[in-house]
Structure 1
């Protein structure tokens, strides 16, 4: 079937399942809209929490933190929102968008009809992966962007006050926060790879999403086991907050470079496993 179709006059595999069509399908889904609403509401929840409980006091043993400077300016509030959400909340949309790709189509029994359209398997997977990563990146941008607007309205526009002292002008702060968002997205590629690979192995979307979130949590737990020593350097979770080094008077890039290398390496392996599993998957079963 595939050979006959691909040799048919006028057939172009690259024009099947355009990214725009897949993006519109995913955008109209209820879980996409709900996730966007949750991320957009988080800054308002934090503003209300600070209004009720005040700004947290510092811990003398751990030193100053971003939480102490959260209400200094809109830029500080945006950085704080990233700090409190990067460890878990931002994991959820990445796992959801990437884990619900193939598995949801299989659970609805629509996957076989997509391939019979015909859409080549590699093209189908690339389209879904590209859209899932694009929506994941949008989630990373949405939260700090809304937080910046809400924080500026609540606390005013000003420099990014650093916990260690000093501050960054608005232009420099915007550039640093852009770097931070990019690194947070890179660090979440492991979760994306896990969810995407599991999505090709199961017909249960919740299994793929929950499995990716669960394995990410396991990585965080293992990183907390100090007895592992240098073995923790191979864990993506070990580098998830390396972006804090960018919010220093003189930013340090070593930790972020190592964290990006670890995350991208794991992600590429997992994406390759996903493509291998999907090319051998019995869609009819």
Structure 2
């Protein structure tokens, strides 16, 4: 085969892959369920902002971190909403989407038709995972952007005092909020891989969704047990709240880097398990 033919074949496969990804994202974001999940996440900062606005102010030291700062600076709504959403609500929505990636197609009978297209099973899994990752990005930025908007509408907005005691302007504060959203997205990538693997084990999407969410909950519960402290650094959720380092001046990147390494490990392990299961799975019978 000539180099020109080989190059043309490679370009053709890449083109098919990108079209497949575009189709996957189109299907994902045309579903009412997807928008319902995003709307539920958007409701979190709305409820926080409205509750603080209608109250006389939360007692200091009670409630989520930074809650007592919301009435003084609306930019804290996004941070508080993220803190509230990350233990349960974000994993729940991500579990629904990731758990449905393969099992959803299998349950409706469309998986066999997807495999008839000129896309290898490994690439199909990669596209499904990429779709879940894009949803993670949309979910975290929904919480952050709606929180910022509600904070600006209901409360004064101004320079923010960092955890280091210094003050940064509004533009820098918005950059920090965006970094927090990216950090949380990164934190959910390992859970997406777990959900992808669970989705290859069954043709019942609800089972894969539930197993993914349970994995998140169990990890957080184990992370609270001092008797199992030796295993904490290996837990999926260990660095989920490490984005506080992004609110220091200067920014401390240690948690970001450690979280990236941990999530990459989960992606590799559970991605390999998903591929091993899916590549041998008989879906055409």
Same fold (TM over 0.5): yes
2:222 matched residue in structure 1: 222
Name the residue aligned to 1:109: 109
Match in the other structure for 2:186: 186
SS of the equivalent of 1:188 reads helix
SS in 2 for 1:157: coil
Paired residue for 1:35?
37
Q: How many residues align?
A: 275
SS in structure 2 opposite 1:237? coil
Is 1:18 equivalent to 2:13 in the alignment? no
The answer as to whether partners of 1:68 and 1:163 remain within 8 angstroms in 2 is no
Aligned counterpart for 2:48 among listed residues 46, 49, 56 = 46
Alpha-carbon RMSD: 2.4
Residues 206-257 of structure 1: per-residue CA shift (max 9 Å, x gap): 1111101101100000000012233212213221111112212343222332
Superposed displacement of residue 176, structure 1: 1.7
Give the whole-Å Cα distance in 1 for the aligned partners of 2:28 and 2:75.
31
Residue 148 of structure 1, CA deviation: 0.6
Describe how 1:89-238 pairs up with structure 2 within 5 A: 89-162=89-162, 165-238=165-238
CA distance in 2, matches of 1:79, 1:139: 14
C-alpha distance 117-259 of structure 1, shift in aligned 2 (>3 A): closer
Is the Cα–Cα contact under 8 Å of residues 176 and 246 in structure 2 kept in the other structure?
Answer: yes
Measure the CA separation in 2 of the matches of 1:84 and 1:42. 8
Assess if the C-alpha contact under 8 Å between 1:66 and 1:163 holds in 2. Answer: no
Q: Which runs of 5+ in 2 are unaligned?
A: 1-8
Q: Which residue of 1 aligns with 2:59?
A: 57
Q: What residue is the counterpart of 2:3 in the other structure? A: none
Residue by residue, what CA displacement relative to the aligned partner does 1:176-225 show, whole Å, maximum 9, x if unpaired? 22221111111111211110111111111111111011011000000000
- Hey, what does 1:3 align to over in structure 2? none
Q: 1:166: how far off?
A: 4.5
Displacement of 1:261 in angstroms is 1.4
Residue segments in structure 1 that go unaligned for 5+ positions in a row: 1-8
What residue number does 1:6 align with?
none
Equivalent pair of 1:162/1:247 in contact (CA under 8 Å): yes
Q: Which range moves more in the overlay, 65-74 or 84-93?
A: 65-74
Structure 1 window deviating more from structure 2 (216-225 vs 119-128): it is: 119-128
Counterpart CA distance in 2 for 1:65 and 1:105 is: 41
- Which whole-Å CA distance do the structure 2 matches of 1:222 and 1:54 have between them? 37
User: What's the counterpart of residue 251 of structure 1?
Assistant: 251
- Distance in 1, Cα, partners of 2:46 & 2:232: 35
